[in-house]
């Protein structure tokens, strides 16, 4: 009888622990090079991903091509040719990450997420905070050497892979 009670007690503690860990919000550490990014850049809409989900659905036609966009001119001011380049989709465990990079004047001017994990509420929450930092870090560094965001490791690693793929086309 004591073994049954002890077993139920251990099972109960495990269940409470599991629920606590499952509902815990991830810790997103801000990379040191982004300490001057204003807090409003990570603010989200009422559903957590209003801006990003519309981009994903509106650009879904271009994700199947996998090719680069227009590459109009060669510049001597920067390291890249002007145009928009689409990177390959990279596995982020909970979904794929695919980006397009806009180059103007030989410099990275914008990064758009064509695909990212957004089917689970936790993924939406994590990515709504990590995506602005990844974009900002890319524009600041002008290459794919960006820091991985703690709590969004899979997304960060897949982002870097897709970004490198796009930049190799530029």
Domain boundaries, the chain: 30-169
Give residue-wise pLDDT tens across range 12-37: 787 766 666 555 454 444 444 334 43
Predicted confidence at residue 55, as pLDDT, reads: 37
126: helix, strand or coil: helix
Element (H, E) at 122: helix 121-141
The token pair at 108 is: 């990275």
Task: Write out the CATH class of domain 30-169.
Answer: alpha beta
Phi/psi for 103 (5° steps) reads: -115, 130
User: pTM of the entire structure?
Assistant: 0.57
């Amino acid at each position: 009888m004591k073994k049954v009670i002890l077993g139920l007690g251990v099972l109960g503690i495990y269940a409470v622990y599991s629920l606590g860990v499952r509902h815990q919000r991830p810790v997103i550490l801000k990379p040191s090079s982004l300490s001057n990014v204003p807090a409003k850049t990570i603010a989200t809409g009422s559903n957590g991903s209003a801006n990003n989900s519309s981009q994903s659905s509106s650009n879904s036609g271009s994700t199947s091509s996998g090719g680069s966009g227009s590459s109009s001119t060669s510049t001597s001011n920067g390291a890249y040719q002007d145009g928009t380049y689409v990177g390959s989709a990279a596995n982020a465990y909970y979904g794929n990450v695919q980006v397009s990079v806009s180059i103007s004047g030989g410099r990275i001017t914008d990064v758009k997420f064509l695909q990212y994990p957004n089917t689970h509420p936790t993924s939406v929450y994590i990515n709504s905070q990590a995506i602005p930092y990844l974009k900002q870090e890319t524009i600041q560094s002008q290459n794919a050497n960006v820091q991985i965001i703690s709590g969004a490791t899979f997304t960060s690693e897949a982002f870097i892979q897709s970004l490198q793929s796009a930049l190799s086309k530029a």
